[in-house]
Chain A
Amino acid sequence: MIPNKYAPEYLQRRNKRNILVIFIISLLILLMLIISMNTGHIRLSPLELFETFLGEGTDRQRLILFQFRLPRIVLSVLVGMALAVSGCILQGISRNALADPGILGINAGAGLAVVLFISFFPSTTEAPVFLLPFVALLGSGITAFLIYLLSYKKGEGISPVRLLLTGIAIAAGISAAMIVLTLKLDSETYQFVAIWLAGSIWGSNWRFVLSLLPWILIFIPLVIAKARIIDTLNLGDVRATGLGLAIEKERLLLLGVAVALAGAGVSVSGGIGFVGLIAPHMARQLVGARHQFVIPVSAMLGGLLLLVADTIGRVILQPSEIPAGIVVAIIGAPYFLYLLVKSNT
């Protein structure tokens, strides 16, 4: 028998299951945090970790944990969350299963703005780090506006296909502009930009964490509060309007949030794609279509995914490091292709 999806008992059962899913993912994140803190060039056993946290460890252990590993770990989780929620919103409001800030070129726009900014202000000073998210936001905002404008056709509105094609083209154009731009940089700045572009989290310290954290704390709860609106938008424009939703206003607001989150994430991590694509899909598979669950779960999955990717990248080819962006692309591209094969659009 097919369950009635609107019956209260069914929803209650589903809610219980979803909470269980959230609990399990939390456990996985915790486990991964511990594994990630353990591994690296110098191993720290769980016991040593525990002692270091209690303030018992040696100076060396404290240095490794608090100055090198922890900021990086925290940062990768935060970036993963930002990108995943951004992708979740984009997929929700465009009703396009293949939307992702990376594929739509929004990440590339943020990247271009950051590279421009870095080429004017050397990365060593204190102030620019806090400005980075704003700069990235400016870049991603302009890019999103441009893509919206170029894929808008009078009378037809925005078709998902044209949106994707425009995004791919804009991303190609921006990366070309970036290549031209990076040639003009001096070698030290170039090094920084090159590593940054590959989507690496290794340059991280607490300053980056602090500059990203406010954006996460403000916007993700805001999106969760708007979950029902995304659900309604998902029903289609006609029904959403019928239900009394100011669709254009809400869509624009949500788009703004998605762009802000993507920009903030990219500003500290560089070009990491596919997280915003994979995490929401996995979340929907696990907890169904209601965004009050999809958003938090995809945030958690995004964080987990990037943490895993970064840990793999750190460990797999020691002593060299593979930027997390590359690891994510190697996992994410096949997943995208799988979705492409499966989807009907």
Chain B
Amino acid sequence: MAILKKYTQVDTEDVIYQSRPVIASIIIMGGLFGLIVSIGISVSFGAADIDMGTVWSSIVQYNDELTSHQIIQEIRLPRVLGAALVGACFAVSGSIMQGITRNPLADSGLLGLNAGAAFMLAISFAFFPGMPYMYIIFFSFAGAALGAGLVFGIGSMTRGGLKPVRLVLAGAAVSALLIALSEGIAIYYRISQDLAFWHAGGVSGTKWENLEMVAPLVIVAFLGAMSLSKSITIISLGEEIAIGLGQRTKKIKFFLAIIVLILAGIGVSIVGAVGFVGLIIPHITRFLVGHDYRWIIPCSAILGGLLVVLADFGARMINPPLETPIGALIALLGVPFFLYLARKGGEEI
């Protein structure tokens, strides 16, 4: 029995650490194509249906006298691009977190990053109303750092160390605390209305200025993640192996943590506390392309973008003219997925 177990272990290890570049390339190409198509569809549907030709012409030869062009350019395009960006941010931050903590349940929502960012947003709205968007991003980033710091700090204080389940429990409690605090602040300063959007999640308010501001940061973070992707793969094999292979794990983990915080903070500052994207997408991606993070990171960025664009499209279509919060829609997908992981995980969780 023991021998059998050993053999299957070796087997699974072989399977786990192989990568599938062909499939990954297909996903990148197909995913990009799907992303463009779904962005097109999402832009053309809405309160006023606009055909694809008009969508195209509004992009290539914008005419600011046409209402339909204005709707596309000023309202729909930024929100849909925002959705794609946010999905990519959450998915990549989730991939990195799952890789470097070797924790299958890592996600910016579950580990308190989103609640932390929402808490700091509550503070910034209460004490510095009318703050420029750049500072809001900064606050959101600081909040994500606060949430993550609390969860990981408490998680590492527990006996037996950073086990996934402890982190999730700590994340649930820290989130409850931070949400309670931000609700208290919201009630006292009468900003519940402004904040409700951040709790429920939605990209409807996205503007070009916001995208222009965050895009460079996101690109830098992605490039950083890509350049460290090889190290993530090695760290995901285990701390000892990584050190044995000559990785300076502390330094690399520090940089990666900063990248995770930037991505999650930006995600929350655009869409609000949307969870589970960073949980679902990395798992699906790893299942498809294997465990090489050079492929996982770009693939999960594309798939994450696709998921949130589709969720946003669904959110507008389910109950028009009202919008269903994206966070709720994605949670309805994410919860069964989480349950499946919790069931499958068994002992190592």
A residues with CB within 8 A of B: 98, 103, 150-151, 153, 161-162, 164-166, 168-170, 172-173, 175-177, 179-180, 183-184, 198, 273-274, 317, 320-323, 325-326, 329-330, 332-334, 336-337, 340-344
Contact among B154, B200, B335, B349 for A172, CB-based, below 8 A: B335
B331: which of A173, A323, A326, A340 is its contact (CB, 8 Å)? A173
Chain A: minimal CB distance from B333 (Å): 10
Complex contact B335–A176 (CB within 8 A): yes
Jot down 17 A-B pairs with beta carbons below 8 A, ordered by A. A161-B349, A165-B338, A166-B339, A168-B169, A176-B327, A176-B331, A183-B319, A184-B319, A320-B187, A330-B177, A330-B181, A333-B173, A333-B180, A336-B176, A340-B158, A340-B173, A341-B154
Taking a contact as CB atoms closer than 8 A, the residue among B170, B176, B179, B332 that contacts A176 in the complex is B332
Residue B183 at the chain A interface, CB threshold 8 Å: yes
> Which of A170, A180, A326, A337 contacts B335, CB < 8 Å?
A170
Q: When the two chains form their complex, are residues B158 and A179 in contact, meaning their CB atoms are under 8 A apart?
A: no
Inter-chain pairs besides A103-B172, A176-B328, A333-B173, 6 sampled, C-beta below 8 Å: A150-B339, A169-B335, A172-B334, A274-B176, A329-B177, A341-B159
Across-interface contacts of A165 in B (CB, < 8 A): 105, 165, 168, 338-339, 342, 349
**Residues from chain A with Cβ under 8 Å of B190 in the complex:** 320
In the complex, what's the smallest C-beta–C-beta distance from B341 to chain A, in angstroms?
A: 9
Q: Decide if A179 touches B335 in the complex (CB within 8 Å).
A: no
A-B CB proximity, top 8 nearest? A333-B177, A176-B331, A329-B180, A173-B335, A165-B342, A176-B328, A179-B328, A336-B173
A180 to B315, CA, bound (A): 10
Q: Which B120-177 residues have a C-beta within 8 angstroms of A?
A: 154, 157-160, 165-166, 168-170, 172-174, 176-177
- Once A176-B332, A317-B188, A330-B180 are accepted as A-B contacts, the answer to whether A169 and B165 lie under 8 Å apart by CB is no
Contact residues in A for B169 (Cβ distance below 8 Å): 98, 164, 168, 336, 340
Which residue of chain B is the closest to A159 with respect to CB atoms? Answer: B346
* CB-contact partner of A337 in B165, B174, B327, B334, under 8 A: B174
Whole-angstrom distance between the alpha carbons of A336 and B174 in the complex?
9
Q: Are B332 and A320 in contact (CB under 8 A)?
A: no
CB-contact partner of B325 in A166, A180, A340, under 8 A: A180
B interface residues (Cβ-Cβ under 8 A, vs A): 105, 154, 157-160, 165-166, 168-170, 172-174, 176-177, 179-181, 183-184, 187-188, 190, 200, 275, 319, 322, 324-325, 327-329, 331-332, 334-336, 338-339, 342-343, 349
Query: Is the beta-carbon distance between B184 and A172 smaller than 8 angstroms?
Result: no
Q: Do A322 and B328 contact each other (CB < 8 Å), given the known contacts A165-B168, A273-B176, A330-B180?
A: no
Is B349 touching A169 in the complex (CB atoms < 8 A)? no
**Closest Cβ neighbor of B166 among chain A residues:** A340
Q: Point out the residue from B165, B174, B179, B322 that lies within 8 Å of A164, measured CB to CB.
A: B165
A321 to B188, CA, bound (A): 8
**Chain B proximity of A288: nearest CB distance (Å):** 24
Q: Give the residues in chain A near B174, CB-CB below 8 Å.
A: 333, 337
> Could you tell me if A183 and B165 are in contact, using CB atoms closer than 8 angstroms?
no
Please determine whether A334 and B177 come into contact, CB atoms closer than 8 angstroms. yes
CB-defined contacts of A323 to chain B, threshold 8 Å: 183, 187
A151–B336 CA distance with the chains assembled, in angstroms = 12
- Would A337 and B173 count as touching, CB distance under 8 A? yes
**Do A169 and B338 contact each other (CB < 8 Å), given the known contacts A98-B169, A177-B332, A333-B180?**
yes
B188 & A322 in contact (Cβ 8 Å cutoff)? yes
The interface centre, meaning the residue of A153, A161, A342 with most chain B CB atoms within 10 A of its CB, is A161
Q: Which residue of B lies closest to A167 (CB)?
A: B172
Which residues of B lie under 8 Å from residue A343 when comparing CB positions?
A: 158-159
| Given A176-B332, A320-B188, A341-B154, A169-B339 contact (CB < 8 Å) | yes
Expressed in whole angstroms, the minimum distance between the Cβ of A60 and any Cβ of chain B is 28
**B172, B180, B334, B342, most chain A CB atoms within 10 A:** B180
Nearest chain A residue, comparing its CB with the CB of B201: A179
CB-CB < 8 A to B166: which residues of A? 340
Residue numbers in A under 8 Å from B184 (CB-CB):
317, 322, 326, 330
Contact check, A168 vs B172: say whether CB atoms are below 8 A apart: yes
In the complex, which residues of chain A have a beta carbon less than 8 angstroms from the beta carbon of B322? 183
Most buried by A among B158, B177, B200, B325: B177
CB distance from A171 to the nearest CB of B (A): 8
* A326 CA / B181 CA spacing, docked (Å): 7
Interchain nearest-CB distance for B166 vs A (Å): 6
